[in-house]
Amino acid sequence: MVNSREKPTDIQYLSKMSAEKSSNAQEKSKNKQNTDTNEEEADLYLDQYNFTTTAALVASVDRKVMVTVKTGQIYFGILRTYDHFANLTLEFVTERIYLSRDDLENPDSFEPTFNLSAREHNKPNKHFEYYAERPVGCYLIRGENVVFIGEVDIDKEDKPLRYLRKIDWGLANAIMNKKRRIEQRFNQQQAVRYSRKGFS
């Protein structure tokens, strides 16, 4: 039995497939443009409001942020979730330490910044010349420990590091731990002095 319908040639088949691919590509491009437009509109919508609570973090979700905590550590990572207590969940986290030449060469000369006699050792115009970093992974930071949080421009993040020299993490961490112990001991002494004068 002979089929009355003609079998399509290879050229017709390839032409049809090419047209379908072109149509799918145009549709994907259109969907991507709509998605980009929706994200831009959402950003413009959020920019109209001046949030003063943890709601201010809503625009930074799924974006890279820098977080400084009370003990002095600095973390860079993608903000995934947060709550009304400002508890933060970060992903792909890197902890970074910045040190000056004086910190590296004379770690014993450090004195806490609250000590008025230490101004010579802790000048505000001290420049950082070294840094160290290590990957941390996923990290949860309690809101009561957060001192500062800000969004990072990923296109400019690495520019300051070009002028700094990277050193071993173990060395940098040992110096920072020593500085923290000195500062903690000083704060305890200050608390005793204040309590003797009637301050709690």
pLDDT of residue 29: 63
User: Where along the chain do its domains lie?
Assistant: 54-195
Q: Which of 89, 159, 92, 90 is nearest to 131 (CA)?
A: 159
Helices (H), 49-168: 101-105
What's the sign of the alpha-carbon dihedral 106, 109, 111, 115? negative
pLDDT of residue 36: 54
pLDDT of residue 74: 94
Q: Decide which of 102 and 66 is more confident.
A: 66
Mean pLDDT of 110-127: 54
CA distance 90 to 151: 13
pLDDT of residue 16: 64
CA distance 75 to 60: 15
Q: Say if residue 80's pLDDT is above 90.
A: yes
Q: Say if residue 2's pLDDT is above 50.
A: no
Provide the pLDDT confidence category of residue 22 given band limits of 50, 70 and 90.
low
Provide the pLDDT confidence category of residue 53 given band limits of 50, 70 and 90.
low
Query: What pLDDT, in 10s, does the model give residues 33-45?
Result: 555 555 556 555 5
Q: Say if residue 159's pLDDT is above 70.
A: yes
Strands 165-166 and 128-141: parallel
pLDDT of residue 119: 46
CA distance 18 to 25: 11
Among 16-20, 131-135, 157-161, 169-173, which is the least confidently predicted range? 16-20
CA distance 177 to 103: 12
Query: Any idea which fold 54-195 has?
Result: SH3 type barrels. (2.30.30)
Considering the chain, what is the average pLDDT of its residues?
Answer: 77
